[in-house]
Every structure is written in structure tokens, then in C-alpha cells.
Amino acid sequence: MSADIRQFNDARYINLETFKKNGKSVFTPVWFVIENSFIFVVTRAVTGKVKRVRNNPNVRIVPSGFRGEPKGTWIGGIAEILNPADSTRIMHLRNRKYGLQAKLASLLTMRKGKYVVLSIKVI
């Protein structure tokens, strides 16, 4: 695991920067898990971050607090949407890391479509 990605090991949130078609950036604090030097974000299919990643896979991430305040060094990455077969394992990791909070979040976001997992390769 590279030194850049180690800064995420003890973090509960990352600030995910995605980009609109016009190039303007959007910052979103999100939960995440790490596996095999990749960072994974579980979200719902109709969220803005999924739409933006489909249009532009370039992202930046930084460990952050609940409100997105940076607590480390920004690093670049390439995001892609995992196929559903690979998503089950990541969902399990997320649920294990965030426990009851993950179950509550699932209930509160049910109307936003199916789950999607974003895989971020640090560059």
C-alpha cells in the first residue's frame, strides 16, 4: 500500500471531489472502505456523484471529517462503477465498518435507487 493511501487507514470519511461537465468541482463527504489499494464508495444509482463519474472518471480524495473538512493530503484517482457481482463484497465490508449507521442510512436513502459501488484507483 502506498504512503498516499495509508493516510486513509484510520479515517471514517473521505471528501470526494468529482467534476461536472463544465469542469466545476463538487465536494461530497462520504463513507468508504479500502481493499487491495483501491478505495470504494457505496452510494445510490441516482446520486449526482454517480452521474459525474460517468461523465468524467477523474476524482480527488482526502481523509476528512463528517462535514468534509480535509484531514490529510488531496490525491488524484480514477473512479469507475463496479459491476453488481463485485459490489456484494464491498457492501459487506462497508456494513462491517459502519455497522448500525450503514443500516440506518440504507433505510433513509431507499428512494434513491439501487446501490452502486464506485471503485477509485489512486494515481
- The residue ranges of every structural domain in the chain are 3-122
Residue 114 vs residues 17, 42, 47, 110: alpha-carbon distances, Å: 22, 10, 10, 8
Q: Return the amino acid letter for 43.
A: T
Write the DSSP string, 21-79. TTS-EEEEEE--EEETTEEEEEEETTSHHHHHHHH--EEEEEEE-TT--B-S--EEEEE
The set of cell numbers assigned to 5 is 493511501
Across the range 98-121, mean pLDDT stands at 75
The reported pLDDT for the residue numbered 85 is 84
Q: What is the pLDDT of residues 3-40, one digit of tens each?
A: 589 999 999 999 999 999 999 999 999 999 999 999 99
pLDDT in tens, 42-101: 998 889 999 999 999 999 999 999 999 999 999 999 999 998 888 889 988 988 998 777
The model's pTM is 0.89
What per-residue confidence (pLDDT) applies to 70? 97
Domain 3-122 superfamily per CATH: Electron Transport, Fmn-binding Protein; Chain A (2.30.110.10)
Which residue reads 461536472 in cell numbers?
20
Residue 105: is its pLDDT beyond 70? no
